[in-house]
Chains A and B, each alone.
Chain A
């Protein structure tokens, strides 16, 4: 699209052309204004993270506070445990909810209500989720635990995956379902044996993106998983997570903590980006 002013009155058209140029310049500036700070964050994470990367980061646990060295192995393993717990707790509910919305409640009041409530859940701030799980789980059980952290992350996962599942199931053509019915397959078997497998790769994509998102969450873990300076994989005890460790080290007084916070951020960002880009690349190739 090019400027298409047809000048009759020269003065006026000059002014209009100037306004056009000014608007274009402002929009280009806005584009640059968005790209530059976002790129700056990535750049600094790489610049500060790479020198601080070493094997010890992945193979050692934190030493006594104030003693340089050590690593964040406990945090990385803890994050993996927490994500695993969240998936184990959240996925069955999320996928079943998606099936319900797509196969049993496409229209109607109940489906509308559930969709609305999922949107509500998706909008609850993650810190509020943390406070809720603290009162509902930690206070009842009497102590912080990886399990409570897993529940908090599962609550964040639930609306995202339920929504993706619904959308992916809706993409499966109606004729596929009808083909199964024509063979005498009952509805529930059509859903579990035909529709769900046909949508499986799309759902898996959504699950991976959701997992990448909860991998970076720290706010809901503050009062549930709590964090732990020692290596632990027990679900009944407090556990560390990479974002929690970065949060603690960012405010810590020691330079080695800052270095490890940058290195940890690099690991986290790399993980999130690799998952997101990988999944999208796979999707793009399938669409072609």
Chain B
């Protein structure tokens, strides 16, 4: 209640601002002020879409929708197509999503169903903290720790023993698709673990007890009751993770190898939509190059908007209108 005591003081100070206006008008003025401030987000979303479309217009007019599947990226000759970048984004994000979902949901189940309380709380806490580590730090780790490990240890191992698998082709450089996938996996794990843990913990106790009373083992309980019950929430968590992976820029730009070609191996250098913007935007060779990059930024925006809308729909449906608790 100490805070309330400071109320009248504040009132006296605020009097100066609206002091000249009569009471009813003060009320209207304040309401107008906060409404106007709230409308800025509307203005911003419109402005972002308008500005990007406007600046990308030369490229949109010249290349049209074919930009999406053209594979030529030739700045000096002003020939641009986004497929290598779209493919790079799709491949790295999809693979990272698969890995992170399997491991992340497994970890969430471990935290909720198996881990004792003394382990569950600090681990959950730590995973949430790690979501706050800046992406450029992940990138630095990718360049100096993960990259060399793939080049000297994991890559040669995979090529020797799994060389017969399609797309596992040498040589293993430190940078490439695999490095980007692993970095993205690690980066989206905290998001997926935190949200699916909340969703799994929200499965009612009675559901678990019911199936245990029927003689189910813990594994059967997880497979038959917990996972089906939490299914759409987990899907939502995965899609939020996907949105993060798709938009991730610097960590990927540091480890993916920066080559505007559709990758033909998990070790091949490539580019994602976000990383090509980060790397080429400051050194554009001509106006069309800039317009093409902004066209890619627009496509990236559209993709992430669709993904986010899907995720929120799913998470909202499960948690009954409550927003996910993780601070993105």
- Residues of chain A at the chain B interface (Cβ within 8 Å): 1-6, 16-17, 19-20, 22-24, 26-31, 33-35, 37-38, 40-42, 44-45, 48, 92-93, 96-97, 99-101, 103-105, 110, 113-114, 117-129, 131-132, 134-136, 139, 155, 158-160, 162-164, 176, 180, 185-189, 191-194, 197-198, 200-201, 206, 209-210, 212-213, 215-219, 222-223, 226, 243, 246-247, 250-251, 258, 261-262, 265, 268-269, 272-273, 276-277, 280
Contact = CB atoms under 8 A, between A and B. Distances in A.
B254 interface: yes
Nearest to A132: B48
Contacts of B180: none
B274 A30 contact: no
Interface string B1-18: 001101110110010000
Contacts of B300: 125, 127-128
A3 B215 CA distance: 9
B35 A128 contact: no
Contact of B11 (A23, A28, A193): A193
Interface of B: 3-4, 6-8, 10-11, 14, 23, 26-27, 30-31, 33-35, 37-42, 44-45, 47-48, 51-52, 54-55, 102-107, 109-111, 113-115, 123, 125-127, 129-130, 132-141, 143-145, 186, 189-190, 193, 208, 212, 215-220, 222-223, 243, 246-250, 254, 274, 277-278, 281-282, 293-294, 297, 300-301, 304-305, 307-308, 312, 323, 327-328
B249 A125 contact: yes
Contacts of A261: 140
A193 B14 contact: yes
Residue among B8, B126, B217 facing the most chain A CB atoms (10 A cut-off): B217
A199 to B, nearest CB: 9
B114 A222 contact: no
Given A20-B220, A127-B278, A136-B47, 14 more contacts: A17-B217, A27-B107, A34-B127, A44-B145, A48-B144, A117-B45, A124-B301, A131-B297, A134-B281, A159-B41, A194-B7, A213-B327, A219-B250, A223-B282
B312 A119 contact: yes
Given A34-B104, A277-B129, A96 B27 contact: no
B308 A119 contact: yes
Contact of A276 (B4, B11, B40, B129): B129
A262 B144 CA distance: 10
A217 B328 CA distance: 13
Contacts of B301: 124-125, 128
A212 B134 CA distance: 9
Contacts of B110: 27-28, 30-31
Chain B contact residues, majority secondary structure: helix
Contact of B247 (A114, A125, A136, A164): A125
Nearest to B11: A193
B219 A41 contact: no
Nearest to B215: A6
A160 B110 CA distance: 30
A219 B136 CA distance: 9
A193 B7 contact: yes
Contact of A1 (B107, B137, B218, B307): B218
